[in-house]
Amino acid sequence: MLIRLYYEEVASSDLSPQDLWDMVKDRVKQFTRRFGRQHVDWRKQQIVALQRKRQRLLRGPFPSSLLATHLPRVEQQIQILQQEITSIAILKAERTWRERGETDAGYLKKSVTSRQVQQTIPRLLQLLE
């Protein structure tokens, strides 16, 4: 990406060095965002596909020796992807907290309420009562 950017736009440009640097920073920022979004979608698709594969293994008429070798591998791949998603969510939450949470009491209250809802799953509790 950077090599192509250099040969197509930077090398033959009449812009000042500061403008060129701003252009490079902007292109890198665009590329990084696009890559991040595509990777998020890919990660979600992989989790869904691996969960389907896991269900197929569990429900299928496979011998236990096959399950013993393939099921742990699939579960480990699911675990790795879920860990990546969790780590990214933690980083986003930390950034949001630094930007808004330290001074905004409303944000703090809303985040606590949403966390409680996620942890208690009210719909399931209503079914149990």
Whole-structure pTM value: 0.61
pLDDT band at residue 101 using 50, 70 and 90 as cut-offs: low
pLDDT at residue 129, as a whole number:
53
For residue 52, the surrounding DSSP H or E stretch is helix 17-59
Where in the chain are the domains? 2-128
Query: Tell me, what DSSP letter sits at residue 15?
Result: S
What is the pLDDT averaged over residues 89-104? 78
> How far apart (Å, rounded) are the C-alpha atoms in residues 90 and 96?
10
**Is 4:12 a contact under the CB 8 Å cutoff?**
no
**Is 48:85 a contact under the CB 8 Å cutoff?**
no
User: What is the amino acid identity at position 6?
Assistant: Y
Record the tokens describing residue 38, joined without a space: 């595509």
